[in-house]
Amino acid sequence: MRPHKNTKELLLRAAVDLFSQKGYLDTSIRDIATKAGISSSIIYHYFKDKEEMLFEIIRSTTEDLIKSLREAEERIKDPEECLRGMLRAHIVDFNIKRKKEVLL
């Protein structure tokens, strides 16, 4: 199978699913490739190893959280309401939308 431009995202989604189901240590590169429906060797075009995949998931998740907190800060001027907005973004939006990543 020829890699396409969304292969990296497909691999990361497969890794998130498997890491949350089986745990990081019990998930192999082969497991991730199988779930993504690609050859194991293609993973190495995008990531050095499984650890790099985990760090990319953590980096992306953290960036999304920071972005949502900054958006609340820019949108809401009252400090107390801003804090409520940030908590809402973190607890409701973030933990629901990125629940699997949060559990890693």
**DSSP letters of 35-93?**
HHTS-HHHHHHH-SSHHHHHHHHHHHHHHHHHHHHHHHHHH--SHHHHHHHHHHIIIII
- State residue 12's pLDDT score: 96
* Lowest-pLDDT range of 1-10, 19-28, 50-59: 1-10
Cα 98 to the center of its chain, rounded Å: 7
Q: Quick one: average pLDDT of 63-83?
A: 92
R_g of the chain, CA atoms, integer Å: 17
More confident residue, 41 or 99: 41
> Model confidence over 46-68: pLDDT tens digits?
999 999 999 999 999 889 889 98
User: 94: which DSSP letter?
Assistant: I
- State residue 1's pLDDT score: 42
More confident residue, 47 or 95: 47
